[in-house]
Structure 1
Amino acid sequence: MARSLDGLVLAPVADQAPGQVGTRTRFAYHEEDGVIWAEYAGGDVVRGRLVGTRAGDLLDFRYVQLKRDGGTSSGHCVSRVVELPDGRVRLEETWEWESREGSGTSVVEEVREA
């Protein structure tokens, strides 16, 4: 199993569609005893939260977010935790909106401050 996500900051490697998370979004992860949660914001997202579970290298969580235009969205995501050669963490995600139509994949990676 890859290392704990607790205390890590992750960011998408590419922008999604307008009004969704993007490269300016930052996710602050927490993990304890198989439970994961995170707060996120940046770009078109004013505030977001996710909560779920971790079993080995698989995360299963629900998310909800408030966008700059005042709209809210929620969905479900399953992610695989991968440790990169440089020791950073990557999440390979498959997600689907539950509050509206749409689904896709994305990648977020650990951000290290220079």
Structure 2
Amino acid sequence: MARSLDGLVLAPVADQAPGQVGTRTRFTYHEKDGEIWADYAGGDVVRGRLVGTRAGDRLDFRYVQLKTDGTTASGHCVSLVVELPDGRVRLEETWEWESRPGSGTSVVEQVDETADRAR
């Protein structure tokens, strides 16, 4: 099993469609005893939360978010935890909205917080 996600900050490697998470969105993950949760914000997302479970390298969670235009959205995501050659963590995600039509895939990777703050 890959290392714990607890305390890690991850960001999308590419922007999704407008109004969704993008490269300016930051996810701060927490993990304990098979439970995972995260807070996220940035870009078009004012505030988001996710909560779910981890079994081995598989995450299964629901998410909900408030966007800058005042709308909310929610969905379901299954992610595979991958450790990159440089030791950082990548999540390969398959998601679907539950509050509206749409689904897709995305990738988020652990960010270097020192370099990220310098931006």
What TM-score do you get using the length of structure 1 for normalisation? 0.99
CA offset digits 1:79-98 (Å, max 9, x no partner)? 00000000000000000000
Matches within 5 A, 1:1-114: 1-112=1-112, 113-114=114-115
TM-score when scaled to structure 2?
Answer: 0.95
Q: How many angstroms does 1:4 deviate by? A: 0.1
Structure 1 segments of 4+ aligned residues over 4 angstroms from their partners? none
Higher percent of residues as helix: 2
**Counterpart Cα distance in 1 of 2:28 and 2:89:** 13
Q: CA deviation at 1:22?
A: 0.1
1:28-87: CA deviations, max 9, x gaps?
000000000000000000000000000000000000000000000000000000000000
CA–CA separation in structure 1 for the residues paired with 2:57 and 2:29: 15
Instruction: State the percentage of identical aligned residues.
Output: 89
**CA-to-partner distance for each residue in 1:3-23, whole Å, 9 max, x for gaps?**
000000000000000000000
RMSD over equivalenced CA pairs, Å: 0.4
Distance 2:23 2:54 in 1: 24
Task: List alignment gaps of at least 5 residues for structure 2.
Answer: none
Q: Take 2:41 and 2:89, find their aligned partners in 1: how far apart are those partners? A: 19
Aligned residue identity for 1:57: D
C-alpha deviation, 1:108, in angstroms: 0.0
Q: Which runs of 5+ in 1 are unaligned?
A: none
How many residues in Structure 1 have an aligned counterpart in Structure 2? 114
